[in-house]
Structure 1
Amino acid sequence: MTEVLGYSTYALHVLTLLTQGSAVAYSLYSSFNTTARAAHFVFIPFYPPIAEEIAENNITLSALQEVAEQRVAAYENDGEGYAIEQGTKPNDIGLALYDSPVGQLAWIGGKIKLWSDPRAGTPPSVLNNTAILTCVSLYYLTDSFLPSVWMYAGNSLKGVYTKAPTDAPLLFTQYEYNVGFWPQEYVAQVGNLVSYTVHDFGGHFPGLDNPPALIEDLREMAQYFEA
């Protein structure tokens, strides 16, 4: 960011889980505290707490947060098989689907539908079949499926929460139907939390699920960023 692109300071924004951004963004936020001067996360690279742990810590959840927590519990029960396969046998699934557009559509497209807000396709959501086909086509036409799978084998979520040694503002947004849920008390453990927002529409892909809310979040981060 500084030596190649020439930015003396910058802000970070990340939507999704460890291999697609949150681990990289959190590393920048934690390690480059004089240049990374604000960060907005929708996913952090730490294991979400389970319901029993939340209760043991006397954390009271709002109705929207309870939906989010239940969503994560369901994902952990029957939605993590893909991550185990990609994390332990990346070449098996990567090579099996490498030259199969239908296979990649089933593997990727199914998850886009499952991880999105159940109201997908109704305003403000812009998620439709064209958006899904466009996303999957980018993987297939650029030969990106196999390397995208390898990333799971090289990364893992952190079990121990650590505080980033920085005073840079950290903002966090919880979308009701995301497949990761962190109460405010947990997010505050990893950085200088200045804003915790819960949106009542959206899932794991808020850029498609709820674009106006995502823009609102980014504009809020700009208020905290000092170049």
Structure 2
Amino acid sequence: MKSITALLVFLAVPCIGGQAPWGQLPPSVTLPVQPTQLSIPRKVVKRFEKDISQQRDFQITWENSQTDRRFGVDHEWMATALQHWRDQFSWREVEASVNRHPHFMANLTVDATELQIHFMALFSKKRDAIPIAFFHGWPGSFLEFIDIFEIVKSQYDPESSPYHLVVPSLPGFTFSSGPPIDSNWGIANTSAVMDSLLQGLGFGEGYVAQGGDIGSFVAQTLALSSPSCKAVHLNFIPSVQPPGVPDPQNDTSLTPQDRQVLARSQEFVNTKQAYALEQGTRPATLGFVLSHNPVGLLAWIGEKFLAWTDPSRALSLHQILTHISTYHLTQTISRSFYAYRETSYSLYPEAAVAPRIEKPMGYSRFPYDNSGVPESWAKEVGNLVFYQAHERGGHFPALEYPEALWEDIESFVQQTFPDSTL
């Protein structure tokens, strides 16, 4: 099958400098894997800088003057963000920062589809290290997990780390190939690719899958379909009431935060899910609108980073611009909508009928996420052996509260596999 490859230049280089200690591939790798540094061609970066420098002033309207952002991103934020993008943002500085961590490109074929998959990794040299695969969502990317990499590097060295950490770019996102252009593609296909990647890295005996947003569906699919996936940790579960649990208004076991989370989830469905319906029903049109329009992308994605996070730990403008620049420069946006076709008319309908996960499952709930469930509901989703309801944090906990998320993941893994045996 034909697949779309991002129009990028990858500079394949030996693992040198800061990459070397953590960049040694496991000895049992069976895939063609190339250590890589990420670099966007100069002419692409120059065109991007020219596009944002030539953007005209925005038209002020009553809707975009509302600073509570009930109608979307506001004029003041857009003007400030654009000015920062023009005057203070450096893509080459982003590349230099990102390339401090080991990156790789893997070539694999799944169901007759040839793909190049980018992934970032910290490989341990311990023979019994537990592989943990982190799966991002939309509008996220591998960039979400850089702070967790920094935490793990401060905790361990390659000789002592009890974990391999692998962060793939899902097909269609950033530096990975896009899905096929001659057939449909969905979460099941992406999950099969991720399983092939992890098995090809030598982790066929077992790995732990972790995810939020779209990544949570990938992780759950792996838990249900792959014998190699031994456990799953989620930081996102759709607010779909499982059969047999009491209605929230009659459930006296729910905590005040449980009720707040369910109310926020319902408010999201009522007033903030239009983007998902558009991406699911008219992805082709929206792709044309946003693909060559960095300022349009700033509004479309910037809104999500503003609205889906804990207001007490707002993401910095630099963080937001880094994610949006990465999407634009890698031509990600039109390649990344495919997951929404499966959820286009009702958010996450498949969650109501998905089989229960019988493998060990952990769930970290962050109250400012778009969707969340009480512990009793999570127990119906899977074999819940770890649960943590946080007081802070939103849809992007790896960016907002990386210490808390990593502490949960590590606690879950240690609790589930106390002797490091998967």
Q: Taking structure 2 as the reference length, what is the TM-score of the superposition?
A: 0.48
Checking the alignment, whether the CA contact within 8 Å between 2:216 and 2:234 is kept in structure 1 is: yes
- Structure 2 residue aligned with 1:74, among 267, 280, 298? 267
The alpha carbon displacement at 1:93 in A equals: 1.0
State whether residues 48 and 180 of structure 1, in contact with CA within 8 Å, keep that contact through their aligned partners in structure 2: no
Contact 1:38/1:221 (<8 A) preserved = no
Report the Cα distance in structure 1 between the residues aligned to 2:354 and 2:330, rounded to whole angstroms. 36
Aligned residues: 213
Q: What residue in structure 2 maps to residue 13 of structure 1?
A: 210
Alignment match, 1:48: 240
The structure 2 residue matched to 1:26, chosen from 220, 223, 229, is: 220
Q: Is 1:150 the equivalent of 2:338? A: yes
Report what 2:177 is aligned to. Answer: none
Aligned to 1:124: none
CA contact (8 A) 2:208 2:231 kept: yes
Report the RMSD for the aligned CA atoms in angstroms. Answer: 2.0
- 1:148-179 Cα offsets, whole Å, 9 max, x none, are 12331145621235312x3x310001101111
Using the TM superposition, give the Cα deviation of residue 191 of structure 1 relative to its aligned residue in structure 2, in angstroms: 1.6
**Map of 1:193-208 to 2, 5 A cutoff?**
193-208=384-399
8 Å contact from structure 2 (residues 310, 368) kept in 1: yes
- Indicate the residue corresponding to 2:107 in structure 1: none
Return the offset for 1:60. Answer: 2.7
Deviations 1:50-84 (A, max 9, x none): 9x93234x253222222222211221111000000
1:1-227 map, 5 Å: 1=195, 3-7=199-203, 8-16=205-213, 20-32=214-226, 34-44=227-237, 46-49=238-241, 53-56=247-250, 58=251, 60-121=253-314, 127-155=315-343, 157=348, 158=350, 159-160=352-353, 162-164=355-357, 166=358, 168-223=359-414, 224-225=416-417, 226-227=421-422
Deviations 1:104-126 (A, max 9, x none): 110011111101012123xxxxx
Secondary structure at 1:6 match in 2 = helix
Q: Which one-letter code corresponds to 2:218 in the other structure?
A: V
Higher relative contact order (CA 8 A, sep 6+): 1
Q: Secondary structure at the match of 2:393?
A: coil
Equivalent position amino acid for 2:321 in 1: L
TM-score by length of 1: 0.86
Partner AA of 1:135 in structure 2: H
Question: What is the CA–CA distance in structure 2 between the aligned matches of 1:161 and 1:5, rounded to whole Å?
Answer: 28
Gaps of 5+ in 2: 1-194
Larger Rg: 2
Identify, as 1 or 2, the structure richer in helix: 1
